[in-house]
Amino acid sequence: EAQVTQNPRYLITVTGKKLTVTCSQNMNHEYMSWYRQDPGLGLRQIYYSMNVEVTDKGDVPEGYKVSRKEKRNFPLILESPSPNQTSLYFCASSRETGRRTDTQYFGPGTRLTVL
């Protein structure tokens, strides 16, 4: 089944404790992206990647890191989480990028709480 998976789905952590949220897709998609969703603010892009080893900042990259060593995986790293990073996070992937940006397939979401 074609899908985007995220782990964990729920996470409660404490300020400053490094964490990684994994994202994996099995559709051989080039484009992958991370969004955070907060009430009233919609979907804000954190980072995106157009292909392996190619990543770029979105609208709200501060406090986050990403890597794209393999086509299928795009982990989101919070080196020192803070309470303002409490949010619902979505990973998404699509077949093509840029002006040919195709249908985005979203993962199920990761609800992160930072105490």
- Token pair, residue 115, equals 């105490």
What does the angle CA 83 – CA 59 – CA 80 come to, to the nearest 5 degrees? 30
Minimum distance of other proteins from residue 28's CB (angstroms) = 18
Cis status, amide bond into 8, omega within 30 of 0: yes
What is the number of alpha carbons within 13 Å of residue 23 lying toward its C-beta?
A: 31
Site for other proteins in 18-77 (CB under 8 A): 33, 35, 40-45, 48, 50, 56, 58-59
Subset of residues 81 to 110 that bind other proteins, contact rule: CB under 8 A: 90, 94, 97-99, 101-109
Q: Which residues on neighbouring strands pair with residue 90, listed in sequence order?
A: 35
CB of 93 to other proteins, least distance (A): 11
Interface residue list for other proteins (CB under 8 A): 33, 35, 40-45, 48, 50, 56, 58-59, 90, 94, 97-99, 101-109
